[in-house]
Amino acid sequence: MGRESYGPARALVPAAAATNLVIAVIFALGRRLWDEEPPLDAAGALGDLALAAAYAVPALLALVALRGRPLLLLPAAGLAFLFSFTALSGVSLVLLIPAAAYLVGFLRAAPPAGRAVAGVTVVLVVVALGVASFVGLFARGELVCWRYEVRENGVRSYERVPADEMSFVENGQRVFSSSVQAGVGVTEAGSGCEERPTVPAGLASLGLLALLLLVAARVTPKAARDAAQGRR
């Protein structure tokens, strides 16, 4: 997409994409900096990677849009808008900022070449793949539980325990028990549980995101101005 395609918004989309990428990393990995969680295993790392990729996909679409496919700014805005409501705490609402920037960039961009029906189809397919990759990540989860101890010398150790030892079902609801007795020479003891995506769910999510980017890069029609320049 040429500089003329953006007009006053030509610097807005790259800045929004960079912000979006930072937000994705913080959402997926930041909580591990302050939560009492055990060291990551392969399954946990895969889940975090898939979650970061899902939140980052609007930014990746925006970056592909900079390659002469401004139409992709529309699904980027749509996915960022949808993902902004995925956290019950409301922290994900910050994604509304890049969503608005992508929409402004799309409105300022040159119209895509080709038929309107083809453009609408691409937008719908890309949004559907993005939503499926996110929903599929949590469609089937695995409850991971652990205990930890901090000894007098400051060494922290973790022990993974079966979920049934840390929780029970009462009136159809799962109740977690955090009662942990500290042993001799232990200054702190605790426990925790986390719902993590399974390995198949993580791989499926990453596969859908790869397909999404392939569709975005290969099928999306180029802007009329850029297409004309390419024929010269």
Q: Each residue's pLDDT tens digit in the chain (232 positions)? A: 444 454 555 678 999 999 999 999 988 877 666 665 666 677 788 888 999 999 999 999 999 998 888 889 999 999 999 999 998 778 889 999 999 999 999 988 765 555 566 778 889 999 999 999 999 888 877 878 877 778 877 777 777 777 777 655 555 665 555 555 555 667 777 777 778 888 899 999 999 999 999 989 887 767 654 544 444 4
123 to each of 8, 69, 77, 91, 143, how far by Cα in Å? 24, 12, 11, 27, 35
H-only helix segments in 84-223: 96-108, 116-139, 163-166, 199-218
Q: Where are the domains of the chain?
A: 3-140+198-230, 142-196
For residue 196, give the nearest of 44, 29, 83, 54 by alpha carbon: 44
- Residue 80 has which token pair? 């960022």
3-state secondary structure of 184: coil
29-36 contacts, C-beta under 8 A, 24 or more apart: 35/192, 36/148, 36/190, 36/192
* Max CA distance (Å), the chain: 79
Q: Compute φ and ψ for 155, nearest 5 degrees.
A: -75, 130
